[in-house]
Amino acid sequence: MAKKKVRKIPEKAVAHITATFNNTLITIAGEDGGVIVRGSAGAAGFKGTKKSTPYAASRAAEDVAKRASDAGVREVGVLVKGPGPGRDAAMKALKVGGLEISSITDVTPIPHNGPRPKNRRRV
């Protein structure tokens, strides 16, 4: 029988926070890109419009941070994407959950003029 490969959890990781208007997704990955833990406001038990609140984002981030620190992660660099209401609450909750934040970077995609807009509606 083949020996099961034990995955080494790094002490330094990257936390990706995607804050949409409907949900907040938190993923903690190693610096090589392999996902360690992930969670969301929906996975934390919130449904419907409650998912899009800062409170739901903080609960989800706290849960993810606790699981990551149990796995062995100590320090995270945070990459925040999106305009949602849970951005700041999720970052604060990572700190409360026992992780040390080394850097915060906003990686929200911004169009450099993007595609041609739709025609104006004529009534």
Q: Let me know: does 56 contact 40? Beta carbons within 8 Å.
A: no
Percentage of the chain lying above the pLDDT 90 cut: 77
| Mean residue pLDDT across the chain | 91
Reduced to 3 states, what is the DSSP secondary structure of residue 104? strand
Tens of pLDDT, residue by residue over 86-110, are 999 999 999 999 899 999 999 999 9
Residue 101, token pair as written in the block: 């934040």
Other Cβ atoms within 10 Å of 122 Cβ, number: 4
Q: Please, what CATH class does the domain formed by 12-106 belong to?
A: alpha beta
Contact 50, 22 (CB under 8 A): no
The residue count for the chain: 123
Give residue 62's pLDDT band: very low, low, confident or very high (50, 70, 90).
very high
Residue reference for tokens 């941070």: 65
pTM: 0.85
CA-angle at 16, arms to 15 and 17, nearest 5°: 115
Domain chopping of the chain, boundaries? 12-106
